[in-house]
Structure 1
C-alpha cells in the first residue's frame, strides 16, 4: 500500500517541499494538510494539544505520532516516550529528528509494553475507524495501560458540518444507517492517490457512553473553540 503520508513527511524533512497533501472525504469535502503544520513546535500547537502534553506523565506511548512533534517535546522534557505509527516514512522521519524509540506498526497489533500515558492527538481516536470498532479499540487501549494509567485523546463533534434546520435548531443528517462521525478519507500527494481509509470523529457523549460500557472513566478536560475537545480516560 502506498505510504502517501510518509512520502510527504520525508520530502518536507529533506527539504523537498513543493506541495501539500490533498484530502478527499465521503462528506464531499476537499481539503489540504499543510506539511509545515505537521512539523510544528509546542508554541504552534493548539491549546488542546498543549494541555494534553502538560498532563502526560510516566512512560508514554504517542499513538499516530506522525513526524514526532509530541514525542520530541516530551522526550526533551525528560520523559521516556515511544512514538508509534503505521507509516514507514513517518517513523523514518521521527528517528532522523531524534526520537529515541519509534515503532512502525498498527496500534491494533501492538502489545509489547504497558504505559502510564497513551496519547492520541490530532483526533487519534479516529484510528478506531467506525463506531462499531470503538468498543474493541478502547479495550485494546486499556490493555496497554498501567493500573493507574491514562489515555489522553482529542476529537471533534462534526455535527456542525451538516445543514441546520432554522425552525427547531436541529441538524439534517443523512439517514444511511451510519453514525454521522464516520468518514472515509483518501489522500493524494504529487499526483499519487492512496487507498481510502475509514476515520471516526466522535462526540463526547458517545465517547463517554462507550467508555462506561468498557470499564473506563471518561472526563472532559477541555473544550476547544470549534466543536473539539480533550478527554482523559482512566480505568474504573
Structure 2
C-alpha cells in the first residue's frame, strides 16, 4: 500500500495541523522543500504560466494530478465543469472538503470512458510518465479522454541549466542518463519517506517531437523567465 506522503501533508495543512513542509531529495540536487501553503495558493499567487493555462481552459475540464485542488477550485468558481483527479487519497479527500464537487481518486491510466474539452496538467504534471520512453503510452491514453476539438494544457521546464556548461556552450550530462530531464525523487514528511519516484522534466522541442509522433499538434503558448513554458496540444485531424 502506498504511503501517500503527499496526501497526508495536504490533509494536515487543511486541518490546521501545519508544522512542517515536505522535504524532497532528488538525483540532481540536495534537499529541497515543497511549502504546504503554496499548494493552497489562490489565483493571484499562482505563477504566470499557471494563470495563463487556467484562462485557456474551456468546456469540461479534467484536472490531472490536482493535488490540493487549487486549480480546480478556481475553475469551478468561474463556472467551468471540472473534475479533479489524483491518485492520492488524502489529496482527493481534501479537495472534497474544500468544496470541489467532482473528484476522482485514480491513477490516470485507470481512468477511462469519459471525454473532456480540456485536459489540464499543471505543476509539471507531465512528470508522471517518469521516463521519456513512456510518453507515447501516456499520449495514447490521453487522446482517448479528449473530445475531437479538445486540448491538453501542460507546463514543464527544461532543466538543462542544472548541468555544468563547458566553454563551447555544451553541457556535461552523465553517461548513465538516457535523457537529462529524467529525475528520481524521494519525499519525506514527519519522519516518513516515500519510495523513490521517477519524474520527467521535458524541454519543449522534445515535447513537440513526441506530440507530433503521436498525431498531436503542439503549440508553445508561453515561455517563462526560468526555462519554464506552457504548451497546448490538440488532435491532428485525420
Question: Shorter-normalised TM-score: what interval?
Answer: over 0.9
Per the alignment, in what secondary structure is the counterpart of residue 133 of structure 1?
helix
Q: Which runs of 5+ in 1 are unaligned?
A: none
CA distance in 2, matches of 1:158, 1:215: 26
Deviates more, 1:108-117 or 1:55-64: 108-117
Structure 2 residue 224 is the aligned partner of structure 1 residue 189: no
Matches within 5 A, 1:135-174: 135-165=136-166, 167-174=167-174
Deviates more, 1:167-176 or 1:68-77: 167-176
TM-score (norm 1): 0.98
CA root-mean-square deviation: 0.7
2:209 aligned residue: 209
Per the alignment, in what secondary structure is the counterpart of residue 54 of structure 2?
helix
2:7 aligned residue: 6
Shift of 1:177: 4.2
C-alpha distance after superposition, 1:198-231 (max 9, x if no partner): 1000000000000010000000000011100000
Shift of 1:128: 1.0
Shift of 1:28: 3.5
CA distance in 2, matches of 1:202, 1:36: 26
Per the alignment, in what secondary structure is the counterpart of residue 132 of structure 1?
helix
2:54 aligned residue: 53
Q: How many residues align?
A: 235
TM-score (norm 2): 0.98
Shift of 1:146: 0.1
CA distance in 1, matches of 2:140, 2:217: 13
Per the alignment, in what secondary structure is the counterpart of residue 28 of structure 2?
coil
Shift of 1:138: 1.0
1:106 aligned residue: 107
Per the alignment, in what secondary structure is the counterpart of residue 19 of structure 1?
coil
Per the alignment, in what secondary structure is the counterpart of residue 140 of structure 1?
helix
